[in-house]
Amino acid sequence: MKNLVVFSDFDGTITKEDTLNKFLCIFANSKWQEIEKQWLNGDIGSKQCLEEQMKLVPEMTQECLDEFVDSIKIDETFPDFYNFLKSENIDFYIVSDGFDYFIEKILKKHGIIDAKVFSNKLEFKDGNFYTYFPNTNNSCKRKSGVCKCHIVEKIRKSNTIVTNQVLYAGDGLSDFCVSGKVDFLFAKGSLLEYCKKNIPNNHLIGFDSFEEIKEFIKRQK
pLDDT at 203 over 90: no
Terminal-to-terminal C-alpha distance of the chain: 5
Q: What percent of the chain has pLDDT over 70?
A: 96
Higher pLDDT among residues 176 and 161, named by residue: 176
d(CA 73, CA 12): 10
The whole-chain average pLDDT of the chain stands at 94
Name which residue leads in pLDDT, 159 or 165: 165
Does pLDDT of 163 surpass 60?
no
Return d(Cα 216, Cα 205) in angstroms, integer: 10
Q: Are 140 and 45 in contact (CB under 8 A)?
A: yes
pLDDT at 125: 95
CA distance 2 to 22: 38
Kindly state the average pLDDT of the residues 41-58.
Answer: 96
Total count of residues recorded for the chain = 221
Q: 175 and 9 in contact (C-beta within 8 Å)?
A: yes
> Which pLDDT does position 156 carry in this prediction?
85
pLDDT at 1: 61
Average pLDDT in the 148-155 region? 94
Q: What is the pLDDT of residues 106-140, one digit of tens each?
A: 999 999 999 999 999 999 999 999 999 999 999 99
pLDDT at 91 over 90: yes
Query: So where are the chain's domains?
Result: 4-219
Question: What pLDDT does residue 159 have?
Answer: 63
Compare 156 and 86 and report the one with higher pLDDT: 86
Radius of gyration of the chain (CA): 17
3-state secondary structure the chain: CCCEEEEECCCCCCECCCHHHHHHHHHCCCCHHHHHHHHHCCCCCHHHHHHHHHCCCCCCCHHHHHHHHHCCCECCCHHHHHHHHHHCCCEEEEEEEEEHHHHHHHHHHCCCCCCEEEEEEEEEECCEEEEECCCCCCCCCCCCCCCHHHHHHHHHHHCCCCCCEEEEEECCHHHCCHHHHCCEEEECHHHHHHHHHHCCCCCEEECCCHHHHHHHHHHCC
Q: How far apart are CA 62 and CA 23, in angstroms?
A: 14
Average pLDDT over residues 136-150: 94
pLDDT on residue 2: 65
Distance of CA 78 to the CA centre of its chain: 14
4-219, CATH topology level:
Rossmann fold (3.40.50)
